Each structure stands twice: as C-alpha cells, then as structure tokens.
Amino acid sequence: MSKTVIKATNISKKYTIGTKNSKPQTLAGEIINFINTPIRNFKKIKNLSNSSHANKTNSIWALKKINLNIKEKEIVGIIGANGSGKSTLLKILSKITTPTGGEAFIYGKVGSLLEVGTGFHDELTGKENIYLNGTILGMNKNEITKNLNDIIDFSGVKNFIDTPVKRYSSGMRVRLAFSVAAYLEPEILIIDEVLAVGDASFQKKCLGKMDDVAKSGRTVLFVSHNMESIMSLCSRVIWIDKGEIVREGDPISVVNEYLETSSNTSHTEIDLEQIEKRGGDGSVKFTKLKILNNEMTEKSQFNIGEVLKLLISLKPIEKGLIDSNLQIKVIIKNQNNTNVLNFNNESAGQQFHLLNKTNEITFAIPKLPLGQGIYSISLEAWVNGGKSDTVGNVCVFESIAGDFNGYGISSSDHSMFYTSSIWGQS
Amino acid sequence: MQKISSQQNSIPNFKELIQYKDLLYFLVLKDIKSRYAQSVIGIGWAVIQPVFFMIIFTIIFGKLAKIESEGVPYAIFSFCALVPWTFFANGVTDSTNSLTSNIGMITKIYIPRILLPISAIIGKGIDFIIALIILVILLIFYKINPGLEVLYIIPCIALLIISALSIGTILTTLAVQYRDVKYALPFGIQILMYSSPIAFSSSMIPEKYRIIFSLNPMVSVVEGFRYSFLGIGVIDINMILSSSITTIIILITSLIYFSKTEKSFADVA
C-alpha cells in the first residue's frame, strides 16, 4: 500500500455572487438611491470576503463536502461539466483560495499549473521571463539555470530568447510559457486544462511530456475536457458535478458513464431558439436540431462508418426575404475546436429557397469518416450570400470504434480519418 | 506536510519567504526593468523628479515665500528632504498598486503575496540610491562637509523603509477589495507631503504641537536626513519616539491585516 499524499475531508467552498439592486421608481427615490450608493456598495464589496454574512440568495456552494484520498504516484483525472467545481477544487489544493469548510493535508511539494505564463512581462526578454515565471511556479534559480538550455530547446524560440516577449507572436509566447512549466519538478503536480496550447505539433510534444511526467513517478492531479488524454494518462478518474463527487474509479467506466449522462441532453431534440450567443444579421433563426442515425433514432454515439443524420429547423424572421436563396453550412469541430469537416448544400449540388414557414432541412453523412473522439456541431445559415444566423457548438456526438468498410472488421486503430481505399496485387 | 483549512494565519510565514527569495529577486528585476523600458531618458527619470521639485520649491518657497531654511541654501534644504520623500511617495504608490496590477499572480498560482508590495519597495531602492548620489554632488557643490552625524542616516533609512512598506501593505490589502484606494491615493500622498517638513522646517511648528505633528513618521525621517547631511534639523527624542511608535503600530497592523486577509484575495480580486 503506497502512502497517501493528498487527503481531503469535507472540503466545501461557498462563493458570494452579486445581486441585482432594486430600481427606484420616483425621482426622490432616485436621489436617495444616489446618496445611498456608496453605503450600499461598501456593504456589497465587504460581503465579498465575508461569506458568513451573505444570505442564501446571493451565495453558491461551488464545492460540497468533497473527500479525496490520493496516493503517491497516482495520476488522477478530474472531469465534469463547466462550472461543476473542478477548478475551485484545484485552487483550494494549490492554496490559491481557502475552503469555507473542511480541511486537507498535503504531503510533499506541490506545483500547480492553472494557467501557463503567469506573471509573464512584456518588457522582459524570453530568458528573463523563464526565470520570473519559473520562480513564480516555485522553482529556484539554480533549478532553472540547470534546465535553461532544455527549456529553450523545448520551446523552439531559441533565436528570440534575448528579445522582449512583446515582440513574440502569441504562439511563441505560449510555447515558451509551457516549456517553463514542463520542467517544473514537484512531487505533486496539479494541472488545469493547459495542454491545449500551441499548434498540433507542439501539442503532441506537450502530451509526450505529460506522458513522461506520468511515468516518472510523480503524483498528478489534472482537470481536462479531453477524454482521450484522460483515458490514456490517468489511473483513476473523479467525476464532479455541481460541487459533488458523482463517481470515481477506473478511467474507462467513469468516462463512459460521464459521456452518456452529459450527452443525454442531445438525445432529445435541441432547442436552438433559446441560444443567446449567435452571429449573423438575424434575418432567419435556427429553431431545432435533431441528431439521428439511419433508423431515425436520436442518439449521440456513432460507430465509424455509420450514417449520421441531422434534422435542422429554421424560420424566417424578415418576411421580405421569402423565396431568397438559402444556404446551410454544417461545421464539425474536434475537441480542440479545430474545424475537421465543413459541409454546405450548394457544394453538394442542392439549391434551397427560404420558405414562409418553418424550413426543415435534412442532412446526412452516409459513412462517418471521423476517428474515435468527441466532436461538436455548429450551424450557419446564409441568405442571398449574407450571413443570417450562426450557432456554435450546439451539440456533441462521439465517434466510437466501428466497421467503416462494411467487411465486418471493426477499426480499433487510432486513425483520425477513414475513407475507402482500393487495393490490388499482381 | 501542509494543512489546508479555513483558518487564517495571523503572522506571515517567514520560512516560506526564504524559500521564495529567488522570486523576490526576479520581481524586483522585473519592476526596475519594466519601469524604464522603452524610455529615452530611462533611469534619468529617477533624477528628474526630485530635482524638478527642488527647483520649484526653491523658487516658490525659498525665493517668493522666503521660508526660513535654517541657514543653509534653500535648494539643498529642500532636496535633502525630497530624497526620502520621493522614495516614500513612489514606494507607497507602487506597493499599493502591486496586488491589483498582478491579479494573475494572485488568482492563478500560489506565491507568498507579501512579496509583491515588498518587491515594489525594493525596486524603488535604485532610484533612491541615485537620488542620494545627486545629494552628495550638491553637498560638494555647496561645500557642505557632514561629520560623523552622517551615521544617523542608518536608523532614518530603516524608519523610512519600514513606514513605506507597512503603509503600502495596508493600502494594497485594502485596494484588492476596495478600488477606491487607487483613486484616493494620489491626493492622500499630496496631503501627507504638505504635512511633512519638506518645504519648511519643523522648527516652524509650535513646540506643543510637535509630538502630534511627528505622529507622521516622515517628520523624523526628513529631520534626520537634514541632521545627518546638513547638521541642521529638529532632533527631539519625543518626536523620534512619537514617529517610531506610530511606525511600529502601523507595521504590526499591516502584517496582521495582510495575513488575515491574504486567503480571500483570490476570491475578491
């Protein structure tokens, strides 16, 4: 039995959130309100640090009685939807903020990476920033000097190392920052979704580095939305939802259960009308989206090579555009938010016209060519060549191992893409 | 082993500060380098500020208002006070802004946060040394030759640094939560300047008010500077005690207040 390095009991965290002021109705009320403003502001700001005085309505529990027991050399992944409390937990364990209740004991030196490049200063050179950022992360000067050449090599910005970082491109900056972090050597490493930086080749390098860290026998606690890296790196996964641990255990079963539950929302049809964040001039509006397989059953997991169908509904808002040319684009992105497939009806040889009612558009990918992973769907509607409505990442689906070519051989290799191929022998 | 709980420290963890001494060094370096980066005069600004004040003071208070300067030329009388005052004013301003201008270092990582106001004060040290050199040049120019009393400068500098650091620490702690501090600061500094004997001598203050007057630590610092370099100034044990006691009270208050509040910084910043 290896020894415990993090032991947390009943960790809870309450945050005070702002409340809306009631608005006065009369001029006199307005004047009194104006005079009282400083007093009210004072009370409000004071309560930010004093959660015990805050009443129930303007406080939320980000974490509720979390218990953790992490052993030496474990690689523990934390998953959960946005706002579930994952980052708050990491912040508490890395001493950035204190819990409202409960306590934790940590045995060993902690290094935390909640952001890459904390403290980077534009006017300092690359090398000076390596030292500044490194000492912020908890290294001392000698440790950095020892690794300096490796850090510079890893970052790939060797030629600019004596240039102020304000002259760097954003990519160079982030690579330099990550390189410093990569050489952090604490006994316990706490990481919050920082792997998604840089271009594809740099990301690969980072994942490789993560693998090394994991194998070097350090304890790692990390939050990620990338289920693939969670499954390949972690020895245990903890799933947090609404501040509570829902499930913990071996990566495959917890991740699968998490994906099933979190994609539940996409089982039913998705209401697009309520989405607030949208682009375009608003002359049409997407209303509904269904994601179906060949049997017309709604689902969110597709085998590679299976049929994926979308049922898209949209309605005209500006009546003057009825009968205008309508173009629909479907964009599929991977977890890194990179477009992997773009479709539109016109390049597929179909012309649409905007109808004076709810327009129903069907779309199908006859054989899903995407390798295993999680993908999201975004939609765009163009009327007469002008962008009218866009909704981004409205639903997710997962591509799982399947038989692309239909010969009964399931593809379990890690191709990113599948397409048919013709072979011969003579 | 580290324990994490809702309990608050009431004194800073000095052992931890030693672990982070390299960080302090690089924070100071960042402070100095970034301050004068991409400026034509660069470190020369450290000279311009007190020298211009000296010129203005000499014209307005020395020539026009004819303020008594205890027998030495008014220019050096005021400059001798402006050297510690400029350090104090800039040090308090920078350390007050040190937490709010480094939000990332508070909300994204754990470092002993007290290093931020400390590094802001130390960063001003370089300007202070340059101003001291100018002062020495002026002494040579006016053929003023200080004797052994120049050693009195050491406790004065200690008082100067401690008072600037503790006032800066209290204000920066307040500023994390109340941004008003940032707006009130410039005029607070202005008021403090006119209530310190920069343009005038403490001897102009009636005897019975001097103890109250010297509750302001800068009174003893400035008079001490004049005594050390010019051999003039009001050196009164009651006034020194009054300044020292206020400074110690402010120092203890600042350390306790900072340590108690530090853990909520990330939540309110």
Task: Give the model confidence (pLDDT) of A369-386 as tens digits.
Answer: 998 888 888 899 999 888
CB A292 within 8 A of CB A298: yes
Count of domains for chain B = 1
Q: Cα torsion at A140, A145, A149, A154 (round to 10°)?
A: 10
Residue A114 near chain B (CB below 8 Å): yes
Q: How many CB pairs under 8 A join A and B?
A: 114
C-alpha distance from B7 to closest chain A C-alpha (Å): 8
Mutate to test the interface with B, among A44, A135, A184 (most CBs of B within 10 A): A135
B25 interaction partners in chain A (CB closer than 8 Å): 135, 141
Q: Are strands A188-192 and A110-113 parallel, antiparallel or unpaired?
A: parallel
Nearest CB partner across the interface for A48, out of B105, B263, B267: B267
Q: Which residue has the tokens 């324990």?
A: B3
The predicted structure's pLDDT at residue B158 = 96
The predicted structure's pLDDT at residue A266 = 45
C-alpha distance from B85 to closest chain A C-alpha (Å): 28
Length of chain A, in residues = 426
A186: three-class secondary structure by DSSP: coil
Query: Residue B28: closest CA among chain A residues belongs to which residue?
Result: A132
d(CA B223, CA B234): 6
Joined together, the tokens standing for residue A153 give 């090599």
CB A70 within 8 A of CB A76: yes
The residues spanned by each domain of chain A are 4-11+66-262, 12-60, 268-400
Residue A95 to residue B2, Cβ atoms within 8 A: yes
A181: three-class secondary structure by DSSP: helix
Query: Residue B2: closest CA among chain A residues belongs to which residue?
Result: A106
CB A219 within 8 A of CB A212: no
Please tell me the least confidently modeled range out of A193-197, A395-399, A419-423, B183-187: A193-197
C-alpha distance from B125 to closest chain A C-alpha (Å): 20
B263 interaction partners in chain A (CB closer than 8 Å): 97-98
Residue A128 to residue B104, Cβ atoms within 8 A: no
Domain A268-400 part of CATH 2.70.50.60: yes
A99 interaction partners in chain B (CB closer than 8 Å): 4-6
Joined together, the tokens standing for residue A32 give 């009194």
The predicted structure's pLDDT at residue A405 = 80
Mean pLDDT, range A345-351, rounded to an integer: 90
The predicted structure's pLDDT at residue A50 = 62
B199 burial level (CB within 10 Å; 0-12, 13-18, 19+): buried
Residue-wise pLDDT tens digits, A177-232: 888 888 888 888 888 876 555 566 777 777 777 778 777 878 889 888 777 778 87
Most confident residue range from A192-196, A418-422, B95-99: B95-99
Share of chain A above pLDDT 90, in %: 25
The predicted structure's pLDDT at residue A265 = 47
Residue A49 near chain B (CB below 8 Å): yes
Residue-wise pLDDT tens digits, A357-371: 888 999 999 989 998
Query: Residue B177: closest CA among chain A residues belongs to which residue?
Result: A45
User: Is the pLDDT at A23 greater than 90, yes or no?
Assistant: no
User: Is the pLDDT at B118 greater than 70, yes or no?
Assistant: yes
Number of H helices, E strands in chain B: 12, 1
Please indicate, yes or no, whether the overall pTM of this predicted structure exceeds 0.95: no
Q: What does the mean pLDDT of chain A come to?
A: 83
DSSP assigned state of B59? I
B200 is in which domain, residue-wise?
A: 14-32+40-268
What is the CB neighbour count within 10 angstroms for residue A278?
A: 15
The predicted structure's pLDDT at residue A30 = 74
Mean pLDDT, range B91-113, rounded to an integer: 92
Q: Is residue B7 part of a domain?
A: no
Distance of CA A93 to the CA centre of its chain: 21
A106 interaction partners in chain B (CB closer than 8 Å): 1-4
Residue A103 to residue B4, Cβ atoms within 8 A: yes
At a CB cut-off of 8 Å and minimum separation 6, what does B53 contact?
B78, B82, B86
Greatest Cα pair distance, chain B, in angstroms, is 66
Joined together, the tokens standing for residue B139 give 């002494």
Share of chain B above pLDDT 90, in %: 67
Please tell me the least confidently modeled range out of A135-139, A365-369, B33-37: B33-37
The predicted structure's pLDDT at residue B134 = 94
The predicted structure's pLDDT at residue A19 = 54
Query: Residue B261: closest CA among chain A residues belongs to which residue?
Result: A49
Residue B108 to residue A49, Cβ atoms within 8 A: no
Residue A97 to residue B5, Cβ atoms within 8 A: no
Q: Is residue B98 part of a domain?
A: yes
A164 interaction partners in chain B (CB closer than 8 Å): 37
Residue-wise pLDDT tens digits, A265-324: 445 577 788 777 788 888 899 998 888 877 766 677 788 888 898 999 999 988 888 888
Residue A43 near chain B (CB below 8 Å): no
Distance of CA A96 to the CA centre of its chain: 22
Structurally, what CATH architecture does the domain formed by A4-11+66-262 represent?
Answer: 3-Layer(aba) Sandwich (3.40)
Start-to-end CA span in chain B (Å): 28
User: Is the pLDDT at B143 greater than 50, yes or no?
Assistant: yes
d(CA B199, CA B69): 9
The predicted structure's pLDDT at residue A371 = 87
Q: Is residue B1 part of a domain?
A: no
A121: three-class secondary structure by DSSP: coil
Residue A104 near chain B (CB below 8 Å): yes
The predicted structure's pLDDT at residue A257 = 82
